[in-house]
A and B are shown apart, each in its own frame.
Chain A
Amino acid sequence: MTTEENQPPETFIRFSPLQRLLHLVVMIGFTGLAVTGFSLKFSAQWWAHGFAWLVGGAGHLAYLHRFFAVITYGCVLVHIIWLFYFKLALKGSITGPQSLFPRVQDIKDMFQHMGYFFGRGGIPRFNRFTYWEKFDYLALFLGMNTMGFTGLFLWFPEFFTTLLPGYFINLAQVLHLYEAIMAVALKFVVHMVTTHLRPETFPVEKTIFNGKTTREKMRHEHPGELDSL
């Protein structure tokens, strides 16, 4: 046994406690929204009857859906406040190369990465956030706002029909449904597979829950960030 192996791997803190907490609450809220929302939409299915029975009927499903919506959107608001704090008080950059802001480099990275899938070239030198991580984040961040907006139409149709024609409620319903299908199809499958089930990360990626990552993983997954430190 060499001395090198006895040394603990150098640990980096990738996610702050607030970020971990927000992820956890959004995770619970999103799952709750999906279960209650789809139980209402696909209410003729046996599993929907099961969930409805579990919570005590359609009225409770609708109430819980709004409860989960409020806590999930609460996370979005806390996150926006934190972004202001990060920018103004901590003088951080929310558009720089180590941020989640989309950049032209991400498109280039995506094409290079897909080339790597087919054996052309190597893995791009990713910065703090890769293009699929940025997509995961931005899809949810923007999606929560649009879902929240269309959801308000369905929550208060009496109010919104005083401002807009009635069929806007139907349009909001269509947008709300298809965005929900897209969000669930992406988060429950693509997000899970790319973070946990890929051969590189299988069986579980704990970084978002304990915030920790190692120098070895950093070198492999985010070499650009490691260089900038």
Chain B
Amino acid sequence: MNAFTVELKKWFPGQKRFGLTLFLCLTLSMALLGPQSPEAAITPDGQAGWFVNMGRFAASAHGTFSCEQCHGDMKQGQTMHPNTENLFFLKEDANRQYDYQRCKSCHNPSYTQYLEGAHAKALLKQQTDLPAGPLKLPKSKRAPTCGNCHSGHYVKGHLSRVEIGRQMVSVCGKCHPAQAATYLDNYHGKAAVNLGDKNAAFCTDCHGAHHCRSLKDKKETLAACKRCHPEAEQGFTQVVIHNTTQDLPENDRQKKAHVALIRVVTVLMAILVILVVGFFYGHSFVWILRELHEKLRKHK
């Protein structure tokens, strides 16, 4: 019995110790199973609640704004929010119905870039091609608006480049998981996200913030590469960064072939390593057994 157990038994003899254990177990299970935070509250009909965590909002980049600055007067005719008869009066899907002109009034360049970019084009396509609009699509397939990537209430200001970059990889990765995973497997992602190297490239350093270019066009790609690799030429754009065939257009045979070739070489190398290392590990192991046997026999 060690000193700690002795001390414990002295302080909490018999029944007291049982009480202590019960107390700890109950506290722990209450902490784990207890009520969730009101932010996560979803009303029975599936709508998100009105709740905004004022502590987190006040600490955010928009923390000094009054509600009206972004939400207007929340009035329709004579009825206005909050409404005790109809709790969900004026409650809409924030990401789809919010008037993003209000974002534009402060963030004009970002708004313009978004409209020029791939996400806005995809949104327009979904709105014109699908009779019910993007809302019938699963969440990860809906073309994003401002609110899908940025949190209006809780967005943090004054973050470092690496902090923003790490958030970015997880935000982009929600809809582009294969791209996030392959980026993290690439040297850029390892240096930037894993080791916090602020000189290494995050998503938007190549794809452009708010433009979100797909970089299928080789000229656009070369311009992106040249930002950090000024000596790069056209061949440089064929270096595979996202080593995956997920979400590739059907006609991109070239990249599919490159990814397949890299895969084949990887498998062949893995087999070679296993064979060579396996042989020499076995060789050394049996050798040691033999020499141990000789030694022990001599000392008999």
Contacts and interface: CB of A to CB of B under 8 A. Distances in A.
A166 B196 contact: no
Interface string B229-271: 1011101111110010000000000000010011001100110
A48 B197 CA distance: 13
Contacts of A197: 288
A61 interface: yes
A186 interface: yes
Contact of A165 (B191, B196, B238): B238
Contact of A41 (B190, B196, B284, B295): B190
B243 A170 contact: yes
Contacts of B243: 170
Given A52-B195, A174-B265, A193 B288 contact: yes
B235 A175 contact: no
B265 A171 contact: yes
Given A61-B195, A171-B261, A117 B290 contact: yes
4 nearest A-B residue pairs (beta carbon):
A166-B238, A178-B269, A43-B194, A58-B197
Given A58-B190, A175-B265, 7 more contacts: A58-B197, A59-B199, A166-B235, A166-B240, A173-B187, A193-B284, A198-B291
Interface of B: 184, 187, 190-191, 194-197, 199-200, 229, 231-233, 235-240, 243, 258, 261-262, 265-266, 269-270, 272-273, 276-277, 280-281, 283-284, 286-292, 294-295
14 contacts: A57-B195, A132-B283, A161-B233, A161-B236, A166-B240, A170-B243, A171-B262, A173-B187, A179-B269, A182-B272, A190-B281, A193-B288, A199-B291, A199-B295
Interface of A: 40-41, 43-44, 48-49, 52, 57-59, 61-62, 114, 116-119, 132, 135, 157-159, 161-167, 169-171, 173-175, 178-179, 181-182, 185-186, 189-190, 193-194, 197-200
